[in-house]
Structure 1
Amino acid sequence: MRQTLFAFIKNFRNFLWRIFHKDNPKLPYIIIIIVAFIIVVGGLNLFIELTETLKEEMLAQYDQQISHFITSFRTPSLTEYFIFMTNVGDIYGYLVVLILALIISLVFFKNWRYIAQTLLVLLLASISNTMLKRFIDRARPGVEHLVSVETLSYPSGHAMSAMAFYGFLIYLFYTFKMNSWLKYITIILLLFVILSIGISRIYLGVHYPSDIAGGYIAGAIWVFFCILIFNLVEVFRRDPNT
């Protein structure tokens, strides 16, 4: 029994050495897969915990306080800005960004794979958001809406799609070999877009803050889940016998 245990430990150690050897070309993909898996599991747990507290009084108080704070800043110019940002997080906004991204990918990277991956993440987030809304069935806030809405409230489709779409673009830009200043300025800009789209939904009176939080979490889950899958595909593509 002892010899069997020692043999197992030795084989497992050799396996880890082969996987995590510094010269292993698959090492970056494997590390990303492990990190993405941990985040997906943690994100699912966080989303479930938040969803289970939707009808609790304490969460309702936080929603009311945060919403009142954000809407207290309403001005004509700020309203115009947040209506613009909420449109950026709608279907026409994504179409414009996708067309621009497709042109950039074909001209500079000679590859449309990144656009296909980003579009897949957005589609998965959008479809799952519709299903979650119907399953959870949370009504919109009973305050003045500055834009028209037709669907249910939780999780926010705008927040979820923005996190999925622009969040995956952040991952892509982080992996690109390009000027560091341009890379990080772009990432900060995309983070600002995600944040502005989420705040716009509270500002315009069509979502509770918890809707936005749930949308961000669910969108991030799809981002990291797709990162996990895409990197697994890359590992097996590099070595089909893995």
Structure 2
Amino acid sequence: MPLISILSMRQILSFFIKTIRQFLADKLNQYNTTLPYLITMIIALVVVVGGINLFIELTETLKTELLASYDTAITDHIISYRSPTLTSYFKFVTNVGDTYGYLIVLALFLIVSLFVTKRWKYVAQATLVLALATISNMMLKRFIDRARPGIEHLVSVETLSYPSGHAMSAMAFYGFLIFLVTKFKIQKVAKFILIIVLVILILSIGISRIYLGVHFPSDVAGGFIAGFIWVVFCKLIFDLIELFRRDSQT
């Protein structure tokens, strides 16, 4: 789903809710403030569950020789660039995409939210997105049960391989921050620079897992897809809550 579609989701939801409300009033002779939101949320849950099921079905391709050859070719190409400088950089960004990295970023985000934007709810939303991505990643890893690559690991790892937790969390958390940046009332140049930095960070975290030898490229791709699903779903739910609050106040 392109970025413009995500940004206009609130308008689409508003139209959808109005359509459901009009249908209930015309066909069922019933006007209910809450019911259209509940129906929309149920539909959203069905869509997300269906997307996750499709994601799991697609993981069957992990067993094909064609994907294995792509994984090997891409991995060999990336690790061929190993050097002390790149190793230091990718170890740094992989730490940014780990627990302590997120705690530091969340702490900084909290300070900015309290003293600049005055919107602490954005910190809560970003934390929720990260938590959902982390928990679901652990469940997916256990369900799919794919071993790590058999090449040299430049960092220590303990969990299973697919999907990449770093890639999934990076896409979910920093991807959601990209959406929040688009809402901030700052100069367009600063906004553009922030978005570019976050995009580079997401990609760097994903590539770092391949470079460091702890993930297949397909692990990273799967993590990015799953993380993006959570960004879209959480954005939808947050917009629903906001629309419901506005509707209930009128």
Q: Summarize deviations over 1:114-166 as a string: whole Å, max 9, x none.
A: 00000000000001101110010000000000000000000000000100110
Which ranges in structure 2 are unaligned for 5 or more consecutive residues? 1-18, 24-36
The more displaced of 47-56 and 84-93 is 47-56
Aligned twin of 1:186: 194
Report what 1:19 is aligned to.
none
- Verify: 1:135 aligned to 2:121, yes or no: no
Counterpart AA for 1:72 = S
Query: Aligned partner of 2:133: which letter?
Result: A
Corresponding residue of 1:232: 240
- Cα distance in 2 for partners of 1:85, 1:135 equals 28
Aligned length, in residue pairs: 215
Residue in 1 that maps onto 2:181: 173
- In the other structure, the counterpart of 2:219 is 211
Q: Percent identity?
A: 68
Looking at structure 2, the residues matched to 175 and 39 of structure 1 have their Cα atoms a distance apart, in angstroms, of 26
Match of 1:126 in 2: 134
The SS at the match of 1:54 is helix
Q: Provide the secondary structure at the position in 2 that maps to 1:53.
A: helix
- 2:147 alignment partner AA: A
Consecutive aligned runs of 4 or more in structure 1 exceeding 2 Å deviation: 37-50
- Counterpart for residue 50 of structure 1: 58
Output the CA distance in 1 between the equivalents of 2:47 and 2:210.
Answer: 26
Equivalent positions of 1:23-38 (< 5 A) are: none
Distance 1:234-1:131 versus aligned 2 partners, 3 A rule: same
CA distance in 2, matches of 1:193, 1:50: 26
Greater shift, 173-182 or 88-97, is seen at 173-182
Map of 1:151 onto structure 2: 159
Structure 2: distance between partners of 1:127 and 1:226: 14
Deviation at 1:95, TM superposition (A): 0.7
Does residue 213 of structure 2 align to residue 197 of structure 1? no
Change (3 A) 1:235 1:191: same
CA-CA distance at 1:181 after TM superposition? 0.8
Cα deviations across residues 76-122 of structure 1 (Å, max 9, x unaligned)? 11111100110010001001111111000011111210000000000
- 1-side partners of 2:47 and 2:117: how far apart? 29
The separation in 2 between residues aligned to 1:46 and 1:181, in whole angstroms, is 39
Looking at structure 2, the residues matched to 49 and 229 of structure 1 have their Cα atoms a distance apart, in angstroms, of 25
**TM-score, normalised relative to structure 1:** 0.82
Q: Deviations over 1:147-198 (max 9, x none)?
A: 0000000000000010011000001011222211111110010000000000
Can you give the 5+ residue segments of structure 1 that lack an aligned partner in the other structure? 1-11, 17-29
User: Of the two structures, which has the highest relative contact order with CA contacts closer than 8 Å and spacing of 6 or more?
Assistant: 1
Looking at structure 2, the residues matched to 149 and 239 of structure 1 have their Cα atoms a distance apart, in angstroms, of 48
Q: Which amino acid aligns with 1:203?
A: Y
CA-CA distance at 1:41 after TM superposition:
7.8
Indicate if the aligned counterparts of 1:50 and 1:214 stay in contact, CA closer than 8 A: no
- Contact 1:43 1:217 (C-alpha < 8 Å) held by counterparts: no
Larger radius of gyration: 1
The one-letter code matched in structure 2 to 1:74 is R
Q: Write the distance in 1 (CA, Å) between the matches of 2:51 and 2:176.
A: 16
2:5 corresponds to:
none
